[in-house]
Amino acid sequence: MPTTQLKDPVHGYVELDQPLLDGIVDTKPFQRLRHVRQLSATNLVYPGANHTRFEHSIGVYHLAKTVFENLREQRYFYRDATTAELDDIQRTLECAALLHDVGHPPFSHLGERYLDRQDLLDRLADHGLQETFADAGVGDAPLREASPHELFGCLLVCREFAAALESMDVDPHEVCAHVLGYSLAYERGGRWQHGVAAQILHSPVDVDRLDYITRDNQMTGADVLSFDTARMVASYTAHPDEGLALSDKALSTIGNYLEGRIALYMWVTQHHKSVYAHALLRALLDELDRLSDEPPVTVDAVLDGGIDDNTILERLRVAARDNPDSTLAALYDRFRGREFPETCWKHRIAYADRVDADIDAFGEWLSGNADRLESRLADELGVPVHEVWVEQSYVPEYEPQALEDIPIAYGGTTRSVGDWGLYGDRAFDSPIPFVFVPYGVEKQATRTLTAWFHDETA
């Protein structure tokens, strides 16, 4: 079958055959991902962070395909399955890897907040997905626990890609299951390799994380990550009872992976200016929502209009022009001109040094009373309320300690990184809150907030 090569800056040449190109890649819903940045507004901090969900999806496909083909060379993996069966499993995985992020709306997680979760579930019910999951004995857990963009991705798979998938003998509902971390074929009693394929895409050692960690580090230029991606890919192994794991080949690089993933989060996503850039963009979207007849991002706007980052940026420009005295216009000028306020502290060391209080308790108090404190502090400083921000990273539910769950296989036993003792005594810092105020009043703001904290918690 003829193939086409794409040159990826992270993985080099990536090969796709014609059915994948015609049925998935060269379609409007997939090409829309070229205009959805992977890291939303991080390019205002790291200018090179303009990579998109499109190349990330291509990278995840490449890694998933490579890992599965490596597994196919392991006798334990292929000895109880025919070549045709493994071909079918691999094809489903390839399609799911390409489509795993197709449901990301404009600005990814920031735009995701406007997607109507119940509406997505209702539409998926119309496509029979819930019924299929129930018949497979999985129940509603995959859909109940899925994020809105994952649900939307499943809807797009069922609505826009079903015919193309079926022409490749791939079940669209099985692709949806892979996106959510399951295999319907495995749950129905099929071969264990089906379950492993789903884990390649969605598990503690999935290739989704492997690609975006490597890609974000390289494209931002942050250079906080140094681990052997090729060796990691070559170390994947699998067992009928234990599922997907990393072999002892990964021992030389797993520590760097652990440290690098945390470092990337702390110095790219949790960078104080990244936190503000995303808070500013979120506030702009909320102002646009307030001034408009409908939310800035809707399911139908993506389905029928193919909206992306550029679409919303143009709407913001027009809204700012048409409402010159509005908060939106002020925030838009700040966003376009990258006019960032000062932060009372830039990192944990300064945070601990400048706050005269227990910083963990202080952080919980700040985050738990953010709206009230912003308004009160703005009055105290004599500035508009939109000049004061109490914020944390926009990345949801990130728990560094979950890295302990990475499975390592050795001597017929699979145990987690933590159980093997490879995690050691690492104690990674949790995210800290930031307070942004106009230039020149940082120390006053810090003293004021500390005094209020002591008064309220005495």
As a whole number of angstroms, the distance between CA 92 and CA 168 comes to 9
50 belongs to a structural domain = yes
- Could you list the residue range(s) of the whole structural domain that residue 240 is in? 3-269
Q: For the chain, 458 residues long, give each residue's pLDDT as a single digit of tens.
A: 789 999 999 999 999 999 999 999 999 999 999 999 999 999 999 999 999 999 999 999 999 999 999 999 999 899 899 999 999 999 999 999 999 999 999 999 999 999 999 999 999 999 999 999 999 999 999 999 999 999 999 999 999 999 999 999 999 999 999 999 999 999 999 999 999 999 999 998 899 999 999 999 999 999 988 888 999 999 999 999 889 999 999 988 888 887 888 888 888 988 999 999 999 999 999 999 999 999 999 999 999 999 999 999 999 999 999 999 999 999 999 999 999 999 999 998 999 999 999 999 999 999 999 999 999 999 999 999 989 999 987 664 445 556 677 888 988 888 888 787 776 666 666 788 999 999 999 999 999 999 999 999 98
424 belongs to a structural domain = no
End-to-end CA distance of the chain, in Å?
A: 73
67 belongs to a structural domain = yes
At 385, list the tokens: 């309320």
As a whole number of angstroms, the distance between CA 195 and CA 182 comes to 7
CA distances from 44 to 101, 175, 316, 394, 440 (A): 23, 35, 17, 15, 23
346 belongs to a structural domain = no
What DSSP state is assigned to residue 428? P
As a whole number of angstroms, the distance between CA 71 and CA 245 comes to 11
At 160, list the tokens: 């826009």
82 belongs to a structural domain = yes
382 belongs to a structural domain = no
Cα-trace Rg, the chain: 24
DSSP string for residues in 250-319: GHHHHHHHHHHHHHHIIIIISSHHHHHHHHHHHHHHHHHHHHSSS-SS-HHHHHHH---HHHHHHHHHHH
77 belongs to a structural domain = yes
At 284, list the tokens: 């702009």
Q: How many structural domains compose the chain?
A: 1
How many other C-beta atoms are found inside a 10 Å radius of the C-beta of residue 241?
6
pLDDT score at 251: 87
396 belongs to a structural domain = no
pLDDT score at 411: 82
Q: Return the residue matching tokens 């800290």.
A: 432
3-state helix, strand, coil split of the chain in percent (to 5) is: 60, 10, 30
pLDDT score at 397: 44
pLDDT score at 399: 56
What distance lies between CA 205 and its chain's CA centroid?
15
Are the C-beta atoms of 279 and 394 separated by less than 8 Å?
A: yes
CATH no. for residue 117? 1.10.3210.10
pLDDT score at 31: 98
Are the C-beta atoms of 285 and 107 separated by less than 8 Å?
A: yes
- Whether the CA torsion 292, 296, 298, 302 is positive or negative: it is positive
pLDDT score at 117: 96
